[in-house]
Amino acid sequence: MSIEVRHAWKRFGTFTALAGVNLSVPSGRLTALLGPSGSGKTTLLRIIAGLESPDATPDPESGKVLFHGEDVSNVPAGRRGVGFVFQHYALFRHLTVFDNIAFGLSVRSRRDRPSAKQIAERVNELLDLIQLAGLGGRYPDQLSGGQRQRVALARALAVQPRVLLLDEPFGALDARVRKDLRRWLRSLHEKLHVTTVFVTHDQEEALELADEVVVMNQAKVEQVGPPQEVYDRPASPFVIEFLGNVNRLERGRVANKSVLYVRPHDIDIRRAFAGEHAVPARVLHVFSAGNTGRVSLTRSDTGDTIEAEVPRQQLRELNLQDGDRVNLVFRHVRLFPVEGFREEDLPSEPSASRDAGSGI
Amino acid sequence: MRTPHPESPPPLRTRRHRVLPGFGLTLGTTLLFLSLIVLLPLSAAFIRTAGLTWDEFWAQVTSPRVLASYRLTFGAALAAAAANAFFGVIVAWVLVRYEFPGRKIVDALVDLPFALPTAVAGIALTALYAPTGWIGRALDPLGVKVAYTPLGIWVALTFIGLPFIVRTVQPVLEELEPELEEAAATLGATRLQTLARVVLPALLPATCTGFTLALARGIGEYGSVVFISGNMPLRTEITPLLIVTKLEQYDYAGATALAVVMLVVSFTLLFGVQVLQRWFFSPERHGR
């Protein structure tokens, strides 16, 4: 089931959450809406779900939501066939895990409602799927965060949604559970192939999990593409800065200024003279974890701080000491002219545990 | 498939280290305070009653006039608490969920029955509902009499009990995430189903607590009722009034005998509601 959103606008008071956003999600894929808080990603997800309605504009096509080509703009959330998973689970605390999962089936009108036996079968199937078989009698308060999120997922899947929407599904979990749950969700997606859209502000999560990444910033879509493409060929300074670590260096004279971006792993450190394009620098600090060593350096000419990542083996050969003078060679850089360059405010900690504004 | 990292729920019981010590001190203070303020006066009532023989006591507390007053007192208090449970939840809902001009004023108005001397409430209600009052005059042609009937007592007790429900439900409602309603909506529940199966069950424990408080207040209420009830024996006479009447006639033993009955019934009622609530709302829930 493909999803299309046409030219959606949404304002909350003076704040613009979406400024004419177009979105097209291919069927059966896992798509990430990635962006800092306040970029409009959650609002977009809620519009797809029917929990929020886009602002009316003179253009009749504006704000339309289509599922598989069919206009669902005026269909209420309950009849769109979406499964929605909330960041803070939103489980019904007075109901057992079993009854939570059965909720969507049990509220159906008598005509469409499966028998109690069929409901029980379906719920038990889902309990197996989320690896919580035997815990159906527990209450949400008796589960851990990761378990609750899986119950919320099962509850959304119980009604066999055409589209699965997840709002910061791992946002409230600690790092380890988060990683495990991420892999588990990926394998679940391989099994079910439900068109899935999830919102996240964690670039690592988006790149690792999704088939396609939609990078959003300030109420607009910055770039759409497979993770590898978005990472390797960022379309704007915002995207390059938001996806992974990068060194931002200014270059050129005042008249013809440009900004140069280089990823830490694209930097070679040489002891010897390495051509006139090499940048002289001084080592500030060396730290190695796992297979890569991280080196902080100061550029001798401008005083900019540069982060470099080199294989541990090479680091050993170089035998760097704090204060050593070295030459840097950039293997791959991206240049953006300052002319027309939009300075973006990056959140200081993109992976802050709780996305306060939740994208509004 | 990879198994998610095994997580276990928090252990059911742990011995917790408390930052502030002093269980002995606080419990001691509690017991002393409760004894002086609550238990001692109450036991005085029991001791006074001991002046009566069992037969005398029984005759005192089961005379037709007294039995009628029990029915009225407990009946009207129950009816008033029930009405408040319904309307109080709506008031709380409106106050929490909507922004409207004058919301703060309405919010403050809710507390007024707490602050107003009950006699003032009684006089005001009587003035309104008497056959010559504003509302009484309108209701009279319809054959509805409020003042000087059990209906009037119900009105007074409802007035007195309202804040109890609103103030217990309000904080719970504030904590109730709108996401719960949205979750129900995306799962296909109708508005009515969302209300009946998601919102109301979440509010039920607090409503029950408020109901109990309003009920307790209604049973003991005296000031506002005596003005509007008319105090006709067998018809609109409440038990607290009977007690005062007996006191005025220097029948201390008789008065305390009634007091003892009210005490025992009220305590049983409150205790019963509490036990019921515990049993009903927390079947093996340790998490909270």
- Residue B34 belongs to some domain of the structure: no
> Which of A79, A86, A180 is closest, CB to CB, to B183?
A86
CB pairs under 8 A between A and B: 102
In chain A, which residues have pLDDT < 50? 341-360
Question: What range does the domain containing B200 cover?
Answer: 62-280
Confidence band of B42 (pLDDT split at 50, 70, 90): confident
- Residue B11 belongs to some domain of the structure: no
- Find out whether A79 and B185 touch, Cβ atoms under 8 Å: no
Average pLDDT over residues B96-113: 91
Give the per-residue pLDDT at B287: 38
- Residue B91 belongs to some domain of the structure: yes
3-state secondary structure B206-231: HHHHHHHHHHHHHHHCCHHHHHHHCC
Chain B residues with CB inside 8 Å of A147's CB?
A: 7, 9
Name residue B98's amino acid.
Y
Nearest CA in chain A to B189: A107
Give the per-residue pLDDT at B66: 92
Written as one string, the DSSP assignment of A261-300 is EE-GGGEEEESS---TTSEEEEEEEEEEETTEEEEEEEET
Give the per-residue pLDDT at B3: 46
pLDDT averaged over chain A?
Answer: 86
CA of B7, closest CA in chain A: separation in Å?
7
Instruction: Write the CATH number for B234.
Output: 1.10.3720.10
CA of A264, closest CA in chain B: separation in Å?
32
- Residue B215 belongs to some domain of the structure: yes
- Residue B30 belongs to some domain of the structure: no
Name residue A119's amino acid.
I
Return the sign of the alpha-carbon dihedral for residues A103, A106, A112, A118.
positive
Structural domain count of chain B: 1
CB contact under 8 A, B183 and A83: no
Confidence check: pLDDT of B75 > 50: yes
Confidence check: pLDDT of B17 > 90: no
The alpha carbon torsion through B264, B269, B270, B275 (nearest 10 deg) reads 120
> Which of A77, A108, A142 is closest, CB to CB, to B186?
A77
Backbone angles phi, psi at A66, to 5 degrees: -120, 130
- Residue B275 belongs to some domain of the structure: yes
Give the per-residue pLDDT at A65: 92
Distant-in-sequence, close-in-space partners of B286: CB < 8 Å, separation ≥ 6: A142, B12, B13
Nearest CA in chain B to A157: B187
CB contact under 8 A, A107 and B288: no
- Residue B35 belongs to some domain of the structure: no
- Find out whether A43 and A237 touch, Cβ atoms under 8 Å: no
Backbone angles phi, psi at A225, to 5 degrees: 170, 175
CB contact under 8 A, A142 and B189: no
Choice between B283 and B233, residue whose per-residue pLDDT is larger: B233
> Which of A80, A104, A142 is closest, CB to CB, to B9?
A142
- Residue B3 belongs to some domain of the structure: no
**How does pLDDT run across B232-270, given as a tens digit for each residue?**
888 889 999 999 999 899 888 888 889 889 988 888 888
Residues of chain B contacting A, Cβ within 8 Å: 1-5, 7-9, 177, 179-180, 182-190, 193, 197-198, 201-202, 285-288
